[in-house]
Amino acid sequence: MTAIQDVTQRLAPRLRGRVVRPPDADYDRARAVWNGMIDRRPAFIVRCEGTSDVIEAVRFARRHGLPVAVRGGGHNVAGSATCDDGLVIDLSPMRGVHVNPAARTVRAEGGVTIGDLDHETQVFGLAVPMGVVTETGIAGLTLGGGLGWLRREYGLSCDNLISADVVTADGRVVSTDSERHRDLLWALRGGGGNFGVVTSFEFRAHPVGPQVYFANLIHPGAQARRLLRAYREWAADAPEEISAFAILWHAPADEAIPAEHHGRPVVTFAAMHSGDPAHGEAALRPLRDIGSPIADLSGPKPYLEVQRFFDEDYPAHVMRYYWKSRYLGGLPDELIDVLVELNEASPSPHSTLDVWQLGGAFARPGPQATAFGDRSAPFLLGIEANWEDPERDGACIRWARRVYDAVAPFTTGADYLNFPGLLEDHDRMVRDSFGVNLARLAELKRRYDPGNLFRLNPNIRPAPQ
Ligand SMILES: Cc1cc2nc3c(=O)[nH]c(=O)nc-3n(C[C@H](O)[C@H](O)[C@H](O)COP(=O)(O)OP(=O)(O)OC[C@H]3O[C@@H](n4cnc5c(N)ncnc54)[C@H](O)[C@@H]3O)c2cc1C
């Protein structure tokens, strides 16, 4: 039976969701992912309404030997949630969230976004550590780690994962928690989408909000070197309730920023304190006392508003993106010089270099405690090329790669695999980033996905039989 006959006769009648394929009217909408540079044409998109649909989709792909892409929120910069000529297992209709306020736990389906999760958890004054843009899917984010405003107080998203239901490559459902299939839970904490399709995640939640204190300071680029040195010193001793960024970029034409700085290099310090806003204001004072900002937009804010702070900078579909990252062993003066120069040389005003403050709860688990690996770096550098014009693709990607290469002497060697570029040098990235955990991950890959069905990701190859 051909794949098309099988879709009509066997797959479609067994689904609660539906199969989208050319020439369906919604095919183009269903195949689009967040990064406007990605334009792939899958043969079939299974819009799953539940675990049973995921099982059917996995079995169908296996029967027909189709490449499989798994879609949570569709936000991976590499476009790994879609593929050419294969099957997309699309969990985006699966958006259920259930909070257990007494136990401080949350169950969320595989297509939930950060915004969905926040919306439900804040009703109970709770939050799960997630990323900083609310349309991002919790699935890809958690499986790759998950860094956000709560990282230094409560760790990565994956550190807060306590159980999961996974459809493995043989079409079975495996439930994992601290007692069942513990190895699989370990692997899901940072090992990416290599082990199966996660239909449901259970997280630990923490009391946060509804108000928090948020620092947002914009400084002239001319003082960038001095500012970054001061940020380095401040970051080393800052309380763990604070998670901060220093961002090198170019000022937009925003009325909060004096007009003479529009389009010019600037440095932003953005930081959230997750406790009582009055304590937060005092704790963030030393960061606000650095230099003389051209705009200080700090103040108490609803946690939900902080979570949305970056949203409008990252529109889906219309912009083009290429993001890499590197863990930094420190922030020495020579590295600061490189970052300042390369920000000034950026071919797009929308691009940014983000110095994420790490440490605190993020750093506590040892390298082998989770698949995620080594956490000793005090900073992560996010290299974000963001632009609009397809004619600028080459220049913008080259700039990001140039930054990536130029900072190499100052890194730990590992990348954050949720910012994987276009996965072009992914074997090296996987080796250097998983480090001592790679052999164990390869064994688990052999156990749960020996044929490497789930390979459109930072791929862990199964250990030989
Ligand atoms: C605007 C924006 C902001 C971001 N901000 C942050 C941030 O603050 N912190 C941070 O840590 N990261 C951040 N990221 C990176 C983000 O963590 C990754 O892009 C992540 O892959 C997004 O998850 P997704 O479900 O939306 O991805 P998708 O593109 O849907 O999936 C990416 C990959 O994850 C796997 N996957 C997805 N769903 C499942 C599932 N249900 N089961 C098994 N595997 C699955 C698959 O391998 C898939 O290829 C950001 C990304 C964007 C675009």
Rounded distance from Cα 158 to ligand 1 centre (Å) = 12
Of 174, 207, 240, the position where a domain reaches its end is: 207
The 3-state DSSP composition of the chain as helix, strand, coil percent (nearest 5) reads: 35, 25, 40
Q: Which of 55, 138, 143 to mutate to test the pocket of ligand 1 (most atoms within 8 A of CB)?
A: 143
Closest approach atom of ligand 1 to CA 71: 30
pLDDT at residue number 5: 87
Within 13 Å and on the Cβ side, how many CA atoms surround 391?
0
Rounded distance from Cα 274 to ligand 1 centre (Å) = 24
Structure tokens at 465: 């039989």
> What average pLDDT does the segment 341-346 reach?
98
Rounded distance from Cα 144 to ligand 1 centre (Å) = 7
Answer whether residue 234 is part of any domain. Answer: yes
Answer whether residue 264 is part of any domain. Answer: yes
Within 13 Å and on the Cβ side, how many CA atoms surround 421?
22
Rounded distance from Cα 285 to ligand 1 centre (Å) = 34
How confident is residue 63, by pLDDT bands cut at 50, 70 and 90?
A: very high
- Looking at every residue in the chain, the average pLDDT score rounds to 97
Answer whether residue 440 is part of any domain. Answer: no
User: 300, exposed or middle or buried, with CB in 10 Å at 0-12, 13-18, 19+?
Assistant: middle
Structure tokens at 436: 């001592």
Rounded distance from Cα 455 to ligand 1 centre (Å) = 15
Is 390 found in the same domain as 346?
yes
Rounded distance from Cα 259 to ligand 1 centre (Å) = 36
Could you give the C-alpha distances from 392 to 96, 250, 388, in angstroms and in order? 39, 17, 8
Backbone angles phi, psi at 387, to 5 degrees: -155, 175
Answer whether residue 445 is part of any domain. Answer: no
CB neighbour list of residue 107: distance below 8 Å, 6 or more residues apart: 96, 97, 98, 100, 200, 201, 202
Could you give the C-alpha distances from 120 to 139, 289, 450, in angstroms and in order? 17, 36, 37
Residue-level length of the chain? 465
Q: Which of 82, 134, 141, 309 to mutate to test the pocket of ligand 1 (most atoms within 8 A of CB)?
A: 141
How confident is residue 439, by pLDDT bands cut at 50, 70 and 90?
A: very high
Cα gap 431→452, rounded to integer Å: 17
Structure tokens at 296: 């200080």
CATH number at residue 379: 3.40.462.20
The domain total for the chain is: 3
Q: Give the tens place of pLDDT for each residue, 117-130.
A: 999 999 999 999 99
On the question of a cis peptide bond just before residue 409, with omega within 30 degrees of 0, the verdict is: no
DSSP 119-170: HHHGGGTEE----SSTTSBHHHHHHH----TTHHHH--TGGGEEEEEEE-TT
> What average pLDDT does the segment 225-239 reach?
98
DSSP 181-196: SHHHHHHHTTSGGGS-
Is 410 found in the same domain as 386?
yes
Is 126 found in the same domain as 28?
no
Pairing between β-strand 197-204 and β-strand 105-109 as defined by DSSP bridges: antiparallel
Could you give the C-alpha distances from 363 to 109, 197, 238, 242, 292, in angstroms and in order? 28, 28, 14, 14, 31
pLDDT of 364 strictly over 90: yes
pLDDT of 3 strictly over 90: no
Rounded distance from Cα 135 to ligand 1 centre (Å) = 10
- The helices-and-strands tally (H runs, E runs) of the chain is 15, 19
Q: Which of 70, 87, 454 to mutate to test the pocket of ligand 1 (most atoms within 8 A of CB)?
A: 70
Greatest Cα-to-Cα distance within the chain, rounded to the nearest angstrom: 70
> What average pLDDT does the segment 93-102 reach?
98
Q: Which of 34, 55, 71, 184 to mutate to test the pocket of ligand 1 (most atoms within 8 A of CB)?
A: 71
Of 75, 90, 105, the position where a domain reaches its end is: 90
Is 405 found in the same domain as 268?
yes
CB neighbour list of residue 21: distance below 8 Å, 6 or more residues apart: 7, 27, 42, 43, 44, 45
Is 128 found in the same domain as 43?
no
> What average pLDDT does the segment 243-268 reach?
96
CB neighbour list of residue 325: distance below 8 Å, 6 or more residues apart: 380, 381, 382, 383, 415, 416, 418, 419
Closest approach atom of ligand 1 to CA 457: 47
Answer whether residue 358 is part of any domain. Answer: yes
Ligand 1 lining (C-beta closer than 6 Å): 34, 70-77, 80-81, 91, 110, 131-133, 136-137, 139-141, 143-148, 192-193, 197-198, 314, 418, 456-457
- Name the residue at shortest CA distance from atom 47 of ligand 1: 193
Is 216 found in the same domain as 293?
yes
Q: Give the tens place of pLDDT for each residue, 6-29.
A: 888 899 999 999 999 999 999 999
Is 122 found in the same domain as 67?
no
What b/e string do you get for 434-443 counting C-beta neighbours within 10 Å, with b at 16 or more? Answer: beebbebbbe
Is 369 found in the same domain as 266?
yes
Taking phi over 0 as left and psi of -120 to 50 as alpha, with beta for the rest, 317 belongs to left
pLDDT at residue number 4: 85
pLDDT at residue number 1: 84
Answer whether residue 42 is part of any domain. Answer: yes
Closest approach atom of ligand 1 to CA 75: 26
Closest approach atom of ligand 1 to CA 35: 53
pLDDT of 342 strictly over 90: yes
Answer whether residue 438 is part of any domain. Answer: no
Cα gap 268→130, rounded to integer Å: 21
3-class SS of residue 216 = strand
- Name the residue at shortest CA distance from atom 17 of ligand 1: 141
> What average pLDDT does the segment 422-442 reach?
95
- The alpha carbon of 317 is separated from its chain's Cα centroid by a whole number of angstroms, namely 17
pLDDT of 53 strictly over 90: yes
Rounded distance from Cα 114 to ligand 1 centre (Å) = 10
Answer whether residue 409 is part of any domain. Answer: yes
Is 202 found in the same domain as 219?
no
Tell which residue, 229, 196, 28, has the closest CA to residue 110: 196
CB neighbour list of residue 428: distance below 8 Å, 6 or more residues apart: none
pLDDT at residue number 316: 95
Closest approach atom of ligand 1 to CA 136: 26
Is 111 found in the same domain as 84?
no
What number of other Cβ atoms are within 10 A of residue 376's Cβ? 14
Is 175 found in the same domain as 32?
no
Is 180 found in the same domain as 61?
no
451 versus 6: which is more confidently predicted?
A: 451
- Name the residue at shortest CA distance from atom 53 of ligand 1: 75
| Structural domain boundaries enclosing 34 | 3-90
CATH number at residue 109: 3.30.465.10
How confident is residue 237, by pLDDT bands cut at 50, 70 and 90?
A: very high
Q: Which of 46, 48, 136 to mutate to test the pocket of ligand 1 (most atoms within 8 A of CB)?
A: 136
Of 155, 185, 207, the position where a domain reaches its end is: 207
